A = this chain, B = another copy of it.
Amino acid sequence: MSGDRSATANRSPASLSDVARIAGVSVAAASRALNARPGVRPEIRARVLAVASELRYRPHGAARDLAMGASSVIGLLLPDLDRTIPPFWAWVHRHLCAVAAEQGVGVMVYFLDDIAEHLGDALIAKAWRGAVVAPDAARYRFVRDLHESGFPMVLIGAPAADFAVPSVDVENVESSADAVRHLLAVGCRRIGVIAGPADRTESRLRVEGYGRALAEAGLTVDPSLVIHADYTVLGSADAARDLIDHGVDGIFATSDPAAIATSWTAQRLGVDVPDELAVVGFDGLQSDVHDVADLTSVVQPVDALTREAMRMLDRSEHDGDPERVVIDPHLVIRGSTRRLAKPGG
């Protein structure tokens, strides 16, 4: 409360000038040494490095960015799901951080609602290289402002029709058709679909794929077998029950949470999966719940999606039409459609 103030003062982290002073060189030399720039006598470099290590020196990233006119941080704008992170986005989040780390880039994470409620559009974005955003972002005024002002932004997923932002997405229609073709192949004749929210682009596309596969098989779409739900387990359980009540023998869930809800509900109702009901999901979540349900699913190539998003952030041209990258997902077959016998039609 009075005495050894010096000991405490020493706690403030060492700066480059501290290192330079103690090593007996200029800050310019110290900077060059630390950054392995050419033109520093080895002896000097060694001394600087030693002092830096001794002082536990670590560079001030923001100051460096400022000086270099560069940016080593990107933003990630996430949707909120009942005070937690939606499973798919947690997955994207983790991969984006990995890809960013490879490039020495940090990720600042914000939830769209928080920005709207607290931060306003201030402080956000100015020092960022750009931002990766979820489709939900289109609903926020500040996101559109940001985009219109030329701020680099790439959306992962299917952008809303009125939001012309660069995007990376999986191919939705054919991959969904493949999922349904698979259900047909294992013997399903009456297939229902749990769609996402009606206003979501990717939901519409996935249902389109569903229709395409049925048409190819000479089947028509029964509207009562197309049920909309959100992308949550809880919110999809009723849809699953409805479809089962309608006597389906196969369900294409346009999200893994919906597929898990289906699997769970079937189990509750004593309906055997996969023999009485085959289930295909969409996402390929790495979550362990997903593993336990042993779901056949259209697996999103999240590593490729985030890697591409990162790349697009840099070449954000902003002239002409926004770039759209589409990556093919893969249907991974697992227990929920692995029937021993294929019941005839």
Contacts and interface: CB of A to CB of B under 8 A. Distances in A.
Interface string A110-122: 1100110111011
B98 A287 contact: no
A233 B124 contact: no
Interface string A159-200: 000000000000000000000000000000000000000000
A40 interface: no
A66 interface: yes
Contact of A84 (B82, B90, B114, B234): B90
B83 A90 contact: no
B122 A59 contact: yes
Contacts of A264: 292
B104 A94 contact: no
A150 interface: yes
Nearest to A236: B288
Nearest to A75: B106
A315 interface: no
Interface string A128-142: 000000000000000
Interface residues of A, number: 71
Contacts of A11: 150, 318
Contacts of A342: none
Given A58-B121, A90-B85, A117-B101, A108 B73 contact: yes
Contacts of A333: none
B84 A91 contact: yes
A235 B292 CA distance: 10
Contacts of A247: none
Nearest to A123: B61
Contact of A58 (B122, B237, B289): B122
A80 interface: yes
Interface of A: 11, 13, 56, 58-63, 65-66, 72-73, 80-85, 87, 90-91, 93-95, 97-98, 101-102, 104, 106-111, 114-115, 117-119, 121-127, 145, 149-151, 232-235, 237, 257, 260-261, 264, 267-268, 285-289, 291-292, 318
13 contacts: A13-B151, A58-B125, A62-B66, A66-B66, A84-B285, A87-B287, A97-B110, A106-B123, A107-B108, A109-B109, A233-B292, A257-B288, A261-B292
